[in-house]
C-alpha cells in the first residue's frame, strides 16, 4: 500500500490573515491580532475586539467504518497522550435511563426497547432502526443535535490545552453528506481514517463482537463506501494486517500528528464579521479588487 497522504503543517492550518506568533506551553500559536494592541497576547482570554484566538490544541477528526478497528487506534493515540472526545461514549451517556434522549426514545418506540434492568436495550433498538431507514433517521434526529452540543462543549474546554485532541466520530463521513446530521469534525485541522477491506471488517464483527454475518454486511452497507471515507483523509491508518502491524501504523500516525500546527479556535467561520480576516469577510464587506 502506498504511503497515505499526510499534509504539511501549512496545508493543515486554516487561513487566519496577518499572523502574530506566541507560545502556550511548548506549542507555538499564531492568531489574527489587531495592530493597535502592543505586544502579543499570552492567552486567548486576554484578546479584545478584533482578535480571534488560536488555541494550543491540535484538533483532529478520527473515523472508520464499523469493524475497521477505529476504537483500537483511538485507544492507541490516547495512550500516547492524546485527549479523546468520543462520540459513541457521549451517545451512551445521553441514553442513560432518565435522560431526555432516553425518554424520547421510549416515547417513540415503546417499552420494548427497555431491558429488564431499566437500561436501554441496544440490540432491540438496532433491530428497529437498521431495518427501516425512516426509523434510523428519526433516531439520528433525536441524538445527533445533542451529541454536537456535548462535543462542542468538550472542544471548547480543551481549546487552551497543549494536547492532540481526537474527535472520535464513527459517522464523520456520513455527517458530511448533503443533509447529514451526524457530527462531522467541523473546525478540525485534519482527518484520520482507519481503513480495512470489507471482508476483514465482517470477520472481526462476527468473531469478536458476535454479529451474524448478514447483519454485519447490512450494517456496513448502511455506511458510506470505503472510497468515500478515504477521500476525506489527511492520513490513512491501514488496519488490514496483524495487531503488531497496526501498532506500527499508530506510531507512524502519532509522529505525523506531532508535525501539525495548533488549530485555530473557534473556527474562522464562527467569528463575527468584523473579526474575520479580509479574505473571509462577507461579500458586501469586501473591498473592491
pLDDT band at 250 (very low <50, low <70, confident <90, very high): very high
Q: Give the neighbor-by-neighbor strand order of the sheet with 164-168.
A: 83-86, 164-168, 58-64, 190-195, 235-238
Residue 281 clears pLDDT 60, i.e. is over it = no
Class of domain 58-254: alpha beta
Mean pLDDT across the stretch 25-47?
39
Residue 217: closest CA among 233, 232, 201: 201
Mean pLDDT across the stretch 184-191?
86
Residue 94 clears pLDDT 90, i.e. is over it = yes
How crowded is residue 34: how many other Cβ atoms within 10 Å of its Cβ? Answer: 13
Whether residue 84 contacts residue 46, with contact meaning beta carbons closer than 8 Å, is answered with: no
Mean pLDDT across the stretch 45-62?
61
Residue 37 clears pLDDT 60, i.e. is over it = no
Residue 54: closest CA among 86, 16, 12: 16
Residue 124 clears pLDDT 70, i.e. is over it = yes
Instruction: Please give the share of the chain, as a percent, with pLDDT higher than 70.
Output: 72
Mean pLDDT across the stretch 224-248?
96
Q: Is the pTM of this model over 0.85?
A: no
Cα distance between residue 149 and residue 49, in whole Å: 26
For the chain, the helix, strand and coil percentages under 3-state DSSP, each to the nearest 5 = 45, 15, 40
Task: Specify the pLDDT at position 187.
Answer: 86
| Domain ranges within the chain, ordered by starting residue | 58-254
Residue 49 clears pLDDT 60, i.e. is over it = no
Cα distance between residue 168 and residue 191, in whole Å: 10
Amino acid at each position: 500500500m502506498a504511503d497515505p497522504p499526510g499534509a504539511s503543517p501549512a496545508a493543515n492550518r486554516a487561513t487566519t490573515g496577518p499572523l502574530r506568533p506566541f507560545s502556550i506551553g511548548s506549542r507555538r500559536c499564531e492568531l489574527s491580532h489587531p495592530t493597535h494592541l502592543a505586544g502579543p497576547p499570552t492567552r486567548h482570554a486576554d484578546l479584545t475586539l478584533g482578535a480571534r484566538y488560536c488555541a494550543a490544541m491540535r484538533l483532529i477528526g478520527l473515523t472508520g467504518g464499523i469493524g475497521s478497528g477505529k476504537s483500537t487506534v483511538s485507544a492507541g493515540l490516547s495512550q500516547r497522550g492524546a485527549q479523546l472526545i468520543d462520540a459513541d461514549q457521549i451517545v451512551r451517556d445521553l441514553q442513560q435511563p432518565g435522560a431526555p434522549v432516553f425518554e424520547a426514545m421510549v416515547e417513540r418506540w415503546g417499552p420494548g426497547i427497555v431491558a429488564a434492568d431499566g437500561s436501554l436495550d441496544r440490540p432491540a433498538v438496532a433491530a428497529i432502526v437498521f431495518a427501516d431507514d425512516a426509523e434510523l433517521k428519526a433516531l439520528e434526529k433525536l441524538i445527533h443535535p445533542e451529541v454536537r452540543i456535548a462535543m462542542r462543549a468538550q472542544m471548547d474546554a480543551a481549546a487552551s490545552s497543549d494536547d492532540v485532541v481526537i474527535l472520535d466520530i464513527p459517522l464523520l463521513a456520513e455527517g458530511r453528506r448533503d443533509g447529514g446530521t451526524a457530527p462531522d469534525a467541523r473546525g478540525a485541522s485534519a482527518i484520520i481514517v482507519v481503513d480495512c477491506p470489507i471482508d476483514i471488517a465482517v470477520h472481526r464483527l462476527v468473531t469478536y463482537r458476535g454479529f451474524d454475518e448478514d447483519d454485519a454486511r447490512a450494517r456496513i452497507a448502511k455506511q458510506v463506501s470505503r472510497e468515500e471515507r478515504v477521500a476525506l483523509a489527511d492520513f490513512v491508518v491501514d488496519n488490514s494486517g496483524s495487531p503488531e502491524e497496526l501498532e506500527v501504523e499508530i506510531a507512524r500516525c502519532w509522529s505525523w500528528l506531532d508535525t501539525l500546527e495548533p488549530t485555530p479556535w473557534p473556527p474562522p467561520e464562527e467569528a463575527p464579521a468584523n473579526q474575520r480576516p479580509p479574505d473571509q469577510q462577507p461579500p458586501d464587506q469586501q473591498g473592491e479588487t
